[in-house]
Structure 1
């Protein structure tokens, strides 16, 4: 193992872990493989992540946070709440499709990791529904949407559109006509929020 000259950071470890997972898959990837890829001892990795489970949880959170980050700008933007809601839902669908289609091996790996993740998936869903609630609340404030409980409406919108962002439906995302089906569901959801 050649000594590394770069400072070992949690971010470097997570980047290496993602590459190791891509190469070996979740069943065979080990902390020793990650350490070897970084040119450090496995003890150095454990100083940043106390267990293999903690490392896997952190890499899963990092992966999920990329989607949340893409969407947060839409949620925080000013402007027409209906257009923002449509844009946000479209961006979520596009991000999930991109993850599934651009790197199917890594997507399959993350399907395994999200199944075993402790709190990362729940936190991700909480963040996404909070972003939706922010958009819906701005629609209520503008008089565009009519709901007494933006948070409950956000959860309902999230669940109603689940077929277009829940990874268990990823095989359907490339089917002919799926865009039209998505647009019909979004139209129904948006109409349901209008006053």
Structure 2
């Protein structure tokens, strides 16, 4: 089969885009490397130069899906305002991203959920970044460090774990998340006084 004429990075990007489109059209479980290769105009074997297996391609899909989330949480971390307010905004944004995506992009979200359950490296890296962001905000707010950030994240799992996200943003659920974040932050603040 012919070469694509794309650089290795561009070929990876194109394969990822095709995989995303195929997942949306046919479902996460029906993605096949052979179909992606055919649509790219390369052999199945040629695609292995870019992705060692289907799991690696799915990791690339998940990573591309998470890129927007990383930008959105980073903007909050780097933004103006008191760190305590940005902690609340950071958790609310994570909830909005996931609850919005489960409704607007259910097959890709299903893949993200599967990657989370399988503890894929792309998810571990993403979680490490989130931990670093939250730790930075907690430190900036003077509420502790990594241990307190981990406690906050664990306490809010019911709002953020992919398996527990309800379809679409729920204003009542978001309000409950805000209340719980405020209670937890008040508790951390009280222990620092």
- Measured against the shorter chain, the TM-score band is 0.7 to 0.9
1:155 pairs with 2:150 = yes
Structure 1 residues 54-73: aligned runs within 5 Å: 54-73=56-75
1:181 pairs with 2:176 = yes
- TM-score, with normalisation over the residues of structure 1? 0.84
In structure 1, runs of 5+ residues without a counterpart are none
* 8 Å CA contact 1:132, 1:154 repeated in 2: yes
CA distance in 2, matches of 1:56, 1:42: 16
| Deviation for aligned residue 1:174 | 4.9
Aligned to 1:134: 136
| Deviation for aligned residue 1:156 | 0.8
CA distance in 1, matches of 2:68, 2:22: 19
Provide the secondary structure at the position in 1 that maps to 2:141: helix
Aligned CA-pair RMSD: 2.3
Greater displacement, 111-120 / 8-17: 111-120
Aligned residues: 188
In structure 2, runs of 5+ residues without a counterpart are none
1:77 pairs with 2:102 = no
Aligned to 2:98: 96
Greater displacement, 39-48 / 154-163: 39-48
Distance 1:34 1:116, change over 3 A: farther
- TM-score, with normalisation over the residues of structure 2? 0.84
Provide the secondary structure at the position in 2 that maps to 1:40: coil
